[in-house]
Amino acid sequence: MRITTSMLTSNYQSNMTKNLNNIQKIQNQLSSGKEISRPSDNPYKVSRTMQMYTEIGANKQYNENIKDISNWLDTTDTSLNQMGNVFARVRELLVTAGNGAYGGDERKAIQDEIKERVNEMSQILNTNFDGVYIFGGTKTTSKPTIVNSDGELCYADKDGNAVNKTAAGVNIELTNPITDGGTKTINSMEKSGDTVTVIIADNTDPANPVETPVNIDLSSVDLTATPPVTEESLFKIALNAQGFNDDAVERLASMVPSFNALDQMGSDLNVEVSQGVLINYNKNAVDLLEGSGTNVVDTLNKIITNLGSGGDVSKITGECLGEVDDIIKNLLKNRAEVGAMQNRMESAQDKNESENLDMTDILSKTEDIDFTEKMIQYSTMQTVYMAALQTSAKILPATILDYL
């Protein structure tokens, strides 16, 4: 086959283009430090790299979760320690109150201190971490407890009203009673099943107020009716007839969700610390106030009552002392569980950091270049390129006239 000058020139240009493309590719790799710059370079490595970036990003978020929960648990542990100190002091005071030589004045002084301990207990239960009430369950934006006007520790709804369990259901005591502008006031309401009972007190005779229960059946709510039957409309029908205006009724109807406050405060909080691994990390007010089978609120009220005039001192050193011991055991149990969770968080963090290092190493091996190897390749390509230029400089200029 006859080889023409045009064929040599064409092959030369094609090969030189390939050489230059290879040099450019290696230059891009050396400047970026990455093996690939576009999916077409190596689709498998691109897919693998994207997957590794996703996993590393998720792992970093898991690590942030672990750090946040570790701080949360540290705060919880400190609060539980403070509660333990409160009840250790209460126990000490109960033992002291049993001294037969103590009179009414000494017991009154002990009663006053225990009342202050009730306030301190509420303050601890309302501990806030990073804008969240740690003992509020899923009710994290408002205080879980208050001390009412009678000095009793109570659960609280979002508006600061006292919420208490009753034999029939849940009772809400209004911090700011609702009035009709005259002698009638609404101080509380109770929910049992679907029925809300509003207690209206008529204070025409302040010494002998008359209480009238008004029942509202929430099962009658029908949003498909014309007009729709809502909770608010049912409250208006029942309470407008008692002389309360719409503003007062709307305020009362807006408190219906507060009947679920106890369920919210008793809820668990979970966090994901690894793919598919959820950990419950909170202790809530219900765990601490009722977890031992002894109701802390009832015990404290019983202690305060029996320290007053006419109280039974034998209950102080007997029944009440035993209940305080149960409460302290429950606090120690919860604190031990928090300690176990702290250990688990430390273990999870170590595992997370180890996984991050492993995945970063795999990612580096997948997308990063070996600079030594690439420099050798670059030098080789430069040598090939220079050799091609020198060879072409000698061969391509030659023509048949050079041989005549």
346-381: pLDDT as tens digits: 998 998 888 888 888 887 787 777 778 778 887 888
**Mean pLDDT on 47-59:** 84
For residues 34-40, give the mean pLDDT. 74
Start-to-end C-alpha separation, the chain: 22
pLDDT in tens, 62-96: 999 999 999 999 999 999 999 999 999 999 998 88
The pLDDT assigned to 25 comes to 80
Summarize the confidence of residues 14-30 as an average pLDDT: 79
Cite the DSSP H helix spans in 33-173: 43-97, 104-125
For the chain, give the mean pLDDT. 86
Q: Which amino acid is at 233?
A: S
Q: Note the pLDDT of residue 359.
A: 85
Quote the crossing angle between the two packed helices 5-32 and 371-395, to the nearest 10°.
160
- Cα distance between residue 96 and residue 106, in whole Å: 10
Report whether pLDDT(395) > 80: no
pLDDT score, position 318 = 86
Amino acid at 309: S
Question: At which residue do the structure tokens 């259901």 appear?
Answer: 169
Q: Tokens for 212, please give them.
A: 């009238």
Confidence bin at 155 (pLDDT 50/70/90): very high
For the segment 137-144, the average pLDDT, to the nearest whole number, is 91
Judge contact between 268 and 280, C-beta under 8 A: yes
d(CA 184, CA 187): 10
Where do we find the tokens 């996703």? 54
Alpha-carbon distance of 28 to 20, in angstroms, equals: 12
Task: Copy the structure tokens of residue 70.
Answer: 């570790």
For residue 128, what pLDDT is reported? 93
Find out whether 151 and 115 touch, Cβ atoms under 8 Å: yes
pLDDT above 60: residue 403: no
According to DSSP, the residues that pair with 171 across neighbouring strands are: 164, 190
Measured CA to CA, the distance from residue 97 to residue 70 in angstroms comes to: 41
Reference 202, options 179, 235, 234, 172; nearest CA is 179
Mean pLDDT in residue range 110-128: 93
Q: Do 285 and 265 contact (CB within 8 A), yes or no?
A: yes
119-128, 201-210, 215-224, 258-267 — which is least confidently predicted? 201-210
CA nearest neighbour of 303 among 43, 111, 16, 151: 111
Alpha-carbon gap, residue 194 to 321, rounded angstroms: 39
For residue 384, which phi and psi values (nearest 5 degrees)?
-60, -45
DSSP for residue 2: P
The total number of residues written for the chain in this structure: 404
- The CB density around residue 336, as the number of other CB atoms within 10 Å, is 11
Instruction: Report the pLDDT value the prediction gives residue 39, as an integer from 0 to 100.
Output: 73
User: CA 322, 328, 329, 331 torsion: positive or negative?
Assistant: positive
pLDDT category of residue 148 using cuts at 50, 70 and 90: confident
> According to the model, what pLDDT value does residue 396 have?
63
Residue 388 has pLDDT above 60, yes or no: yes
What is the arithmetic mean of pLDDT over 182-211?
89
User: Residue 332 and residue 85: Cα distance in Å, rounded?
Assistant: 11
CB 173 within 8 A of CB 158: no
CA distance 23 to 67: 47
Q: What's residue 126's pLDDT?
A: 95
What's the confidence (pLDDT) of residue 5?
67
pLDDT of res. 366: 76
Integer angstrom CA distances of residue 236 from 189, 230, 256: 15, 10, 14
The residue assigned the tokens 């020139």 is: 9
Which of 98-102, 181-185, 336-340 is predicted with the least confidence, judged by mean pLDDT? 98-102
The tens digit of pLDDT for each residue in 264-312 reads: 998 999 999 888 888 899 999 998 998 878 889 889 988 888 888 777 8
